[in-house]
Structure 1
Amino acid sequence: MAIVWLIIIGAAAGFLATRLMNIETGILPTIGIGIAGALIGGLVLRALLAMMGAAAGLIGAVLGAMLLIWAWQTFQNK
């Protein structure tokens, strides 16, 4: 069930991350970035999620999505 929650949070996180990093993408890439970022951030911050609840999951998901966008932009230009 935790993975389903990360996917739901990931969709919102992708939207927030693409707006915070000022990147224009379509709906599907935005959701994909958010889901991947949520999985990365959620798994890394699992202990924080247990202590602080859903707010920590959203923060971790946004940070993970932003990290993924940064990596994507860095390696896409090469």
Structure 2
Amino acid sequence: MGLIWGLILGAIAGLIASKLMNENSGLIKNILLGVGGGFVGGLVFKLIGFAATGLIGSLIVSIVGACICIWAGRKLFK
């Protein structure tokens, strides 16, 4: 059940991040952005000394990480 919730949370985080960054993407890309963003966001937040707790905290970390992934992708593949 945790995997399903992770994919749903990833899809929501990827959708919000893609809207914030004006990125056109489909469901699969949103899920990958959200899950990858959760990983990247978790690393970044740990480096600055913050930790996410609960569903809302995880969602915020995933959105921030997904925005970082979109930004980095734009810079790398410009």
TM-score w.r.t. structure 2 length? Answer: 0.75
Q: Could you list the per-position Cα deviations for residues 13-38 of structure 1 after superposition, in whole angstroms to 9, with x for gaps in the alignment?
A: 00000001011122211221111101
Structure 1 residue aligned with 2:51, among 20, 38, 48? 48
Where does the alignment leave 5 or more consecutive residues of structure 2 unmatched?
none
Structure 1 segments of 4+ aligned residues over 6 angstroms from their partners: none
Q: How does 1:1-78 map to 2 (within 5 A)?
A: 4=3, 5-45=5-45, 48-50=51-53, 53-77=54-78
Where does the alignment leave 5 or more consecutive residues of structure 1 unmatched?
none
TM-score w.r.t. structure 1 length? Answer: 0.75
CA RMSD for the aligned pairs? 2.4
Q: Percent identity?
A: 36
Q: 33-42 vs 5-14, which deviates more?
A: 5-14
